[in-house]
Structure 1
């Protein structure tokens, strides 16, 4: 049996039976913690749109929460804030729950924002003729939100398909939004792994050629074989067990935002985010939202195939990940999102 086949079997064996997980029946009461510090990396990206909508539409306040949002350069930095104790909860990539379990530290996701990765890899247009496949990016510099974030992991995953190691490419943290556009315009990077609206802006300016695209569910199906959980709310387990009403309030606000985004017009969305998030072009922002809308979770609930697909993605790109040792059921609970969905 090949190593690849063995790894795939291990991933499947580690897949959780989310629907069979114990459900704790609780009546939602007043949040135990009314003031919550939330960390996020690159909030202006459409990747985190549900978070921004929950804030701007007052969904957090209506759930009884005063949420202080600290925006870092990338997801790895927001994870550090959680583990260091300066944040109560993170809006970040689900995959961090798996990576931290591999390191012996438990964190758990409980409200999904993205059911598709919503990222894309592109190279500068003046270099596009040199890149026919992943093997051709050896030695190139890629602008990611921050080293260690999902944007870097996507490049590493794709590079591995071309026989390259993570060290064969250079990841440079460029944040999100306007700084991404600037990094390509001034040629400080050869390519990017990023989220919208920066991607669409660079495409419209014909400054990049997209090589890998997960901004549609079709793209996720082609690359990962199904859904790929992206941004979510995750926290250390104590938040969920010791302050369940607080966790429920957070999940309720995100689920309401997810649901609002399913029917909101692009113009309504653009009017609901800070002007700076539009990067100077409201029309492009609206088109970018339309392009990624289907990858936004409709209800905050983790798709059944999501955790296993994410684990396979990580294992294929990082030999340190050992699927057989990962307990996916401990990285996620649908309890809070399911309750929020039923009450909406």
Structure 2
């Protein structure tokens, strides 16, 4: 998914190697699987949405974000054209199946917020995990779900072939600002505090590579991206991939810093969607992120 593009670029451009660290990227169909890999000792750190980190902390599992990749979830909610020929508004989703990358994912939370604005509760629809990439496309096109709340480049591929009609677009900074009143930190590199304490030099090297990639992305032309990225990331459709990139390009962090008001915005989102679950939940936001290594990296790369 494009929300993790800076991480993929840091690897593809050789920036990790240039910083003296060997990184092996493991792909997972859902953020929950990436987080589980960290907890089970199969990975040292992961790339996941900031709101997922907050939910983990509320469950007593400590993680700390140290590089911000995207300032918006980059998702859109779309309905299947064939199954909704006379779609009018979100109320029409009542009783329908809505595909999301994974249950309890950020996409599901945003979809729940959108339908709540028209009076629907989560119990009024059925959220179905569809994974990412080709799996999500197949689930939608086969009719297994009637609607889809997902990220890029999946949504642009469905739009390009007129399979989907986007009914709520949250893929840009302005759209997220209109909905929440602020940007929302999304994909971050995060790790258990113990790892960051034991391996500060490794964390700094990884951060250097990420900030370097974010800076490169700010001025890279579409042709540069196609040349650098592994073919599998284009999902067999170069034009749709580039169209997707154009829709979300402003959401990529220019420098990797988590904004001071970002963690609070993410917490407010969770409290808004499930107020009962978060009424008595205490989260120490100061322990959920650090900009320590990004500040040093910005000096190195003038980012």
What TM-score, normalized by structure 2, do the two folds share? Answer: 0.94
Match of 1:54 in 2: 10
Comparing 291-300 with 273-282, which one deviates more in the overlay?
Answer: 273-282
- SS, match of residue 187 in structure 1: coil
Q: Hey, what does 2:162 align to over in structure 1?
A: 206
Partners of 2:182 and 2:85 in 1: how far apart? 30
**Counterparts of 2:220 and 2:165, CA distance in 1:** 30
Q: Check if 1:126 corresponds to 2:82.
A: yes
- The CA RMSD over aligned residues, in Å, is 1.7
Structure 1 runs, 4 residues or longer, greater than 6 Å off: none
Task: For residue 131 of structure 1, report the CA deviation from its aligned partner.
Answer: 4.7
Equivalent position SS for 1:167: helix
Alignment partners' CA distance in 2, 1:218 and 1:233: 24
The more displaced of 48-57 and 182-191 is 182-191
Aligned to 1:262: 218
Residue 68 of structure 1 deviates from its aligned partner by 1.5
Which stretch shows the higher mean deviation, 162-171 or 85-94?
Answer: 162-171
TM-aligned CA deviation for residue 250 of structure 1: 1.6
The total of aligned residue pairs comes to 300
Cα 1:133–1:314 shift into 2, 3 Å? farther
Match of 2:37 among 81, 89, 94: 81
- Using the size of structure 1 for normalisation, the TM-score is 0.83
Note if 1:163 corresponds to 2:119: yes
Distance (whole Å) between structure 1 residues aligned to residue 177 and residue 8 of structure 2? 27
Which residue in the other structure is 2:257 paired with?
301
Cα distance in 2 between the residues matched to 1:167 and 1:299: 40
Q: How much has 1:129 moved relative to structure 2? A: 5.3
Aligned to 1:328: 285
Distance 1:76 1:55, change over 3 A: same
Task: Judge conservation of contact 1:267–1:286 (CA < 8 Å) in 2.
Answer: no
3-state SS, counterpart of residue 26 of structure 2: strand
Distance 1:322 1:107, change over 3 A: farther
The residue number in structure 2 matching 1:175 is 131
CA 1:331 to 1:151, structure 2 compared with 1: closer, same or farther past 3 Å? same
State the Cα deviation string for residues 303-342 of structure 1 (Å, max 9, x = none): 2321111111111112312377222111111111111111
Give the superposition deviation at 1:217: 1.0
3-state SS of 2:48 partner:
strand
Q: Deviations over 1:132-186 (max 9, x none)?
A: 4444322221221122222222222223323333333222222212222222221
- Correspondence 1:68 to 2:24: yes
1:287 aligns with 2:287: no
Residues 130 and 136 in structure 1, CA contact (< 8 A), matched pair in contact too: no
Q: Distance in 2 between matches of 1:274 and 1:80?
A: 26
| 1:180-203 CA distance string (max 9 Å, x none) | 222222111111111111111111
| Cα deviation, residue 215, structure 1 | 1.4
